[in-house]
Amino acid sequence: MKKMCCEVLEVMAEGLGIVEKNALSKAIGGEKSDSCFRLNHYPAAATREAAEEKMLVGFGEHTDPQIISVLRSNNTSGLQICLSDGSWVSIPPDPSSFFISVGDSLQVMTNGRFKSVKHRVLAESKKSRVSMIYFGGAALSEKIAPLKSLMSKDEESLYKEFTWLEYKNAAYKSRLSDNRLSLFEK
């Protein structure tokens, strides 16, 4: 999973025109990276009507604080992303594909060129949902800031520099749905 994340980040760096191939991936490629793998199980809703009526939340709305997240799930719906107008869209399940999500840290590293996506999981199916997520995080002491190689001369950073540990601590002290990046905006 780490190797795949690094390859995706290297393609993203290339797409941004960054000369240094590993400018984004080196943050998660090292032995001290604070990456983790999580398995989630969302029990089935008793009935579809019950799920629709109660909008049973399996995991509330949030953005991932890490650099990148890679998710794979069984053939069960539930994952939704929030569009810029505030509406929610279901992501069709595909057990043979990976869903890759930009995290808050990558949003900062790209100075907002890539945005972390707000998402949630609803228990909206009569079948239980299982998902596996790899969260690619930097080393705890890694400084997170917009890449200088990405910034033009007159472009200003949208974010204050922070370490991954500082951001992680701030994220865990906030509510899941909070905009945690607002604490580090300039």
List active site positions.
129
Distance separating alpha carbons of residues 60 and 117, to the nearest angstrom: 13
Is the separation of the CB atoms in 107 and 75 below 8 Å? no
Residue carrying the six token digits 């709305």? 61
DSSP labels for 5-41? Answer: HHHHHHHHHHHTT-SSTTTTTHHHHSTTB--EEEEEE
Residue 82's contacts (CB-CB under 8 Å, 6 or more residues apart) are 61, 88, 89, 117, 118, 119, 120
Residue carrying the six token digits 């910034």? 151
55 - beta bridge partners? none
Tokens for 157, please give them. Answer: 């950073």
Tokens for 116, please give them. Answer: 């972390």
